[in-house]
Structure 1
Amino acid sequence: MAIKRTSKKKKPASKKKKILHLFIRLVIYFIAFSIAWVLIYRFINPPITWLMIQRNFENSEVPKKVIKRKWINYEDISTNLKLAAVASEDARFMQHNGFDTEAINQAFKRNQLGESIRGGSTISQQTAKNVFLWPHRSWLRKGFEAWFTILIEALWGKERILEVYLNIIEMGPGVYGAEAATQFYYDKPATSLTKRQAALLAAILPNPRVWSPNRPTNFINRKTNTILRYMPYSKIPE
């Protein structure tokens, strides 16, 4: 009888150990898979994003399966647009390691005072989210976003991050990336954007399906002027 009681006590412990081992294996597999995925996209351009797929199936003014997009290399993207994007979206892009702790602290203080808070993800975080994750917000997705942000900062570097960001970012209804946007709005290549045109494109990034650089509201014009003032102080990969 004593032996039977001992075996009964060991079964739950054995089951818990199996579950723990399974969990550890799954975590290891996920880490290995995610590192491999990020390394692949260091050398191969992402063919599509979850947001593009979602937008393509939403009821909107954009016909089904119409996506305006053309990949261009980092050196072929207008320097004006690179500076404008950094000035608008992530002023400390070259200084942080993917997470702008100073901006987070400022946002927390403003929240304590009851003031409105700017959305404020860094360009690295936005790139990680847009390339690897689904669009809908959740704490789970935020956790994955942090992990992929760490990976692209470590395995890609700033130049590749900014290149991917400016090639996949939504810039209008069915329009993704710098080249498609400049062709769509200005009928010219992305290498030839003026400072104001670049600043206007950067100004609409938070809501490009509502705002347009060709029909800027008073708010967009004010934001564009602010971006133009900060562009000379922005730092980008050379």
Structure 2
Amino acid sequence: MKCALVTGGSRGIGRAICLKLASETSYHILINCQSNTAAAEEVAAEIKGMGKTAEILQFNVSDAADTSAALTQWQESNPEAVVEVIVNNAGIARDGLFMWMSSDDWNNVINTSLNGFYNVTSFFMQKMLRNKYGRIVNMVSVSGVKGTAGQVNYSAAKGGVVAATKALAQEVAKRNITVNAVAPGFIRTDMTGELNEAELIKMIPANRFGEAEEIADLVSFLVSRKAGYITGEVININGGIYS
């Protein structure tokens, strides 16, 4: 059984990626969520409605022990299963000016995006190297590439993942493992629901927010066999706001 794991897969971009990979690949989809199991169940049901397979893995990516325990238990229960694709999508935002930023808001954002990347990817790395095949896609952000005022913590977390992507890609390329990052701009999801869309689209050359499905299309390509010579890249998908 060949599997694709999507962290933060119950809502928004993660949900769109789970559905797209289910429809366009033969992978068994592993939907990670931290607490919103009801939403994850809906995604799994939708995938099963396509005639494909999926299951939910509940763990907190920012907690190394929780992540290791959940993944170990799953691997022991599925000894024949091989995770070929990892989409590190889980992330949180705690926006605010740096001068007033609490250490909790700093640490929680860094732990989820940056340490979450480490906790999940490191669990599977040796197995991928032995199998001589893998596709790792890290969801970053325009904030991690250009920096965004009011998001010093989020920019730092995503910028760290950008650098990690470039470094890891060089370590594992010989084993047919690609590591890429996708950097969305303003995408219409729950996370951007509070933003003033009418005001912000004035900054976007494409004159609109992106859709989660458009991100999922790019991820689906990057995890495919067609993208075998693309690695260490950060692909901006932002309607021209920054590239």
TM over 0.5: no
Structure number with greater CO (CA < 8 Å, separation at least 6) is 1
More strand by share: 2
Task: Say which one has the larger Rg.
Answer: 1
TM-score by length of structure 1 reads: 0.24
More helix by share: 1
